[in-house]
Amino acid sequence: MLQPLPTPDEIAVWEKETISTIGIPGLTLMESASRQVVSILLEEYGQIDGANIFCFAGAGNNAGDTFAIARQLQDLGGNVIVFHSKNKKQYRGDTRKNLIWAHKLDVPFRHIGSSDLSRFGHPDIVIDGLLGTGFQGPLRKDFLELVQFINIQSQHAYILSVDLPSGLNGLTGLPDPEAVRATCTVTFEAPKLGLVFPEAQKYTGKIHVCGIGIPKSIQRLSPPRHYLISHEAMDNIPKSSPDIHKGKAGRILIIGGSLGLTGAPHLAAMGALRSGAGLVTIACPGGLMSEIKAGSPDIMIFPLGKGEHWTPGMAETLLENLSDYDAVVVGPGLGRAPKTVDFLKGFIAQCTAQTVLDADALFGISHFPEMLKDLTDSMILTPHPGEMATLMHTSIQHIQKDRLACSRQFVDRSNATLVLKGAGTLISNTTMTCLSPFAEPNLAVGGSGDVLSGIIASLVARDLNPFTAACTAVYWHGFTGRLLKNEFPARGNLATDIANRLPQAVKQHTKEFSSC
């Protein structure tokens, strides 16, 4: 269900071990990479005979790939010019060998620093091999000007980036401060982590992942920490046996609801029911139970007292009844009154159930940092960026600038699973992080997160471990959002639509991927 997403440092280890341990020459990997690029270019662009091709080579191994690409493109009839960023005599190792071979075949070379690029006319194709995965910004002024020059050519030329668009951070997927806007990117062995973030899409163009001969044994010995959730995640949804009954299909307790916030627990309950839970109960102040139930006979209510507010004593009542449930959701519409936070603190400190902590539960945790030590590996936190900023005592801008780093910082302090919602939702625990492949505007609606918390609880209640349940629920939720985009292309769908389309999403997903 997971596709490896190596960081630049991790892919460097794979290459080093392939060369030093297995003995496959770096020159062989470089030749394989260049041939893959040429193959993709012919597949995407078509025949290049007579095409004007600018190849930009930087200082690292990407330059060796570019020299090899230029040699092959000239053999195929392209009018090739290689623009290199450093003196030819300064290239070393395998990169220098490829430079020499291209030179012997009379491939034209021009040093970028001493060339007026404008006098060479307009290219039909640009090969961007300026900067590879090792780039850490910001771009130098001369490279920034080159990136800007390439982007101007994109108005009429096909831009192919080798491994990563130059200027794009391979770890965060962000430009620093600008990056090549490629028509397509050919990356090797596995997509680099930065390539798959939603923010990177306007720079990468179509991404092709091509093997270059790094053995799978090397990849297994040095596994990456980050993965992309694939369509196979849906295979984790528990199958129902013919003799299943409601008590064995997952018993969910949702703790939430307060004055003015009665819809949130109801939506979480619908998310749990629509994703297959057998029994769903909402625990709430007794005075709010009619509003929260909202006329739905499918949802049961556990009324606590007769008033409309949470009190610390309610925690003990719920703890005494936890054995009746397979999973718990805490927080949707819970409210933020001081007594509510006191209730929450008492409940979490003694809760032993598989628990999803969402919405106002996260607010309570943020005000009592010592509660982090009470979070166990059976708990899942589901903040959106604003809630994550509150948890981390920072700004939303800081969270969004490097969501990955913020996720890692949090799980380093807690044993819980973290689901950082948003475009490209991140799921992290102490050992790994997974990235959702979805960035769906139709999910950006109030109550969407409540539905997600219900899905997670439903899966946990049916014996998926917290991390797998979170990854599966996020994928299911995201795929449903993609379906809604077809039905509501200008958005306008409701959170209830997300919940109600969950069963159809499974059916559609099976139809689309049954032949895979």
Binding-site annotation, residues for (6S)-NADPHX = 132-138, 163, 264, 333, 384, 450
Report the binding-site residues: 62, 128, 132-138, 163, 166, 264, 333, 384, 421-425, 449-450
How many DSSP H helices and E strands does the chain contain? 18, 18
* CB 408, CB 428: distance < 8 Å: yes
Q: Give the three-class secondary structure for 66.
A: helix
Give the separation between CA 212 and CA 18, rounded to whole angstroms. Answer: 11
Two structure tokens written together for 459: 């899966």
Give the separation between CA 263 and CA 261, rounded to whole angstroms. Answer: 6
* CB 281, CB 254: distance < 8 Å: yes
What distance lies between CA 177 and its chain's CA centroid? 22
Nearest to 433 by CA among 225, 192, 170: 225
What distance lies between CA 206 and its chain's CA centroid? 17
Q: Return all residues near 352 (Cβ < 8 A) that are at least 6 apart.
A: 322, 378
Q: Give the three-class secondary structure for 128.
A: strand
Give the separation between CA 2 and CA 364, rounded to whole angstroms. Answer: 33
Give the separation between CA 177 and CA 210, rounded to whole angstroms. Answer: 28
Strand order of the β-sheet with 158-162 is: 109-111, 79-84, 52-57, 125-129, 158-162, 184-188, 206-210
The position carrying tokens 């939720």 is 477
Assign 3-state DSSP to the chain and report helix, strand, coil percentages, each to 5: 50, 15, 35
Dihedral angle sign, alpha carbons of residues 71, 73, 78, 81: negative
The position carrying tokens 């297959």 is 276
DSSP 8-state assignment for residue 321? T
Report the binding-site residues for K(+): 62, 128, 166
| 373: exposed, middle or buried (Cβ count in 10 Å: 0-12, 13-18, 19+) | exposed
Report the binding-site residues for AMP: 421-425, 449
